[in-house]
Amino acid sequence: MASKILIIGACGQIGSELTYKLREIHGDDNVIASDISYNNLDVVNSGIFEIVDAQDYASILICVEKHKIDTIYLMAAMLSATGEKYPMKAWDLNMNSLFHVLNLAKAKYISKIFWPSSIAVFGPTTPKENTPQHTVMEPSTVYGITKQVGERWCEYYFEKYDVDVRSIRYPGIISWKTLPGGGTTDYAVEIYHKALKDGTYESFLSENTELPMMFMDDAIDATIKIMDAQADNISIRSSYNLAAMSFTPKEIAESIKSELKDFTITYKPDFRQQIADSWPKSIDDSYARKDWNWNHNFDLKLMTKEMLTQLSKK
């Protein structure tokens, strides 16, 4: 029987592209997109779509039973910058949704889960260069705390209840189809939009703030790969480090300038600077490369070309 997939948070930046890709692979009828509202009409109109409240167990269960779902990708979350504005809302959304999905698997309604973690699990006391898989983790954002605690619960449900949950610590994700919302790494998407529209960008991070980043195609590829891997090959049941490239606002601006000569950038750091300063500069993802053959394709130069080409067609 074909796998039946539910994506919760399908209207968001990663959820939307995951929906398109999984439909390509598994067929439109086998991939159900869902979100709390109809806030991305491209996704809503692209196939079967349900309103599901990630914070409501019954709402998810009704959809799971209706469509005989066996796999859930839980992409709904409040990200780092918005989370600092609404700490309790971030805690409630990020934790309740995860528990609901883990408990659905524990009760055998579903058999497999993908849940994204983030580089936000790391904090100011973590080694910043080539951050190891296993290291000090003292996150200083609410978002990072939810992701770190979430990782512990994923491993716990795997060990105690045999729940097949798989996870990746995403770096900042850059894409052109759907805008991100409420993250600290969002500047690296906004900059391309502004470069084409206004020829200039005011960065909310300072010029030498280096962060781990990845192009969307690579992030989707990694997500598909970890979910397709044999269960025995998944040696980490908390969440895998994942990396592709690292750059600063100054470096991304230079790469845009090599395509658009007149582009200019200014810097006006805001509260997100402190969040960025607490995160790693680069990530050691050797476990992902060894366990499920992860490999990235996009570097900064290639990504800049692709972003500018695709956005100019929009």
**What residue number has its CB nearest to ligand AKB?**
183
Q: Are 248 and 188 in contact (CB under 8 A)?
A: no
Binding positions for ligand AKB, rule: CB under 6 A: 79-80, 118-120, 143, 170, 172, 183-185
Closest approach, Cβ 2 to ligand AKB, in A, equals 31
* Least gap, CB of 234 to ligand AKB (angstroms): 21
| Cα 160 from Cα 225, distance rounded (Å) | 25
The whole-angstrom separation of Cα 63 and Cα 75 is: 16
Choose, from 20, 57, 143, 157, the residue flagged as catalytic. 143
Find the shortest distance in angstroms from Cβ 158 to ligand AKB.
22
Nearer to ligand AKB, 219 or 253 (CB): 219
Q: Residue 271 class from Cβ within 10 Å (0-12 exposed, 13-18 middle, 19+ buried)?
A: exposed
Task: Quote the CA–CA distance of 203 and 192 in Å, as a whole number.
Answer: 12
Cβ closest to ligand AKB, residue 49 vs residue 247? 247
Q: How far is the CB of 262 from ligand AKB (least distance, A)?
A: 29
Please say whether the beta carbons of 172 and 183 come within 8 A: yes
> Is 143 annotated in the active site?
yes
Helices (H), the chain: 13-26, 41-44, 57-67, 80-85, 87-106, 142-161, 187-197, 216-228, 249-257, 272-277, 286-292, 300-313
CA 113 to chain CA centroid, nearest Å: 15
Q: Give the shortest CB-244-to-ligand AKB separation in angstroms.
A: 13
Angle at which helix 87-106 crosses helix 57-67, to 10 degrees, equals 40
Identity of the residue, 178 or 185, whose beta carbon is nearer to ligand AKB in the bound complex: 185
Nearer to ligand AKB among residue 117 and residue 255 (C-beta): 117
Cβ atoms of 282 and 213 closer than 8 Å: no
List the structure tokens of 71.
């796999």
Q: Tell me how far, at minimum, the Cβ of 105 lies from ligand AKB, in Å.
A: 23
Q: What 3-state class would DSSP assign to 169?
A: strand
Separation between Cα atoms, residue 156 and residue 24, nearest integer Å: 33
Tell me the Cα Rg of the chain: 19
Structure tokens at 109: 């309604």
Quote the CA–CA distance of 103 and 108 in Å, as a whole number. 8
| Distance from C-alpha of 44 to C-alpha of 18, rounded to nearest angstrom | 13
Smallest separation, CB 143 to ligand AKB (Å): 6
Task: Please give the positions annotated as active site.
Answer: 143
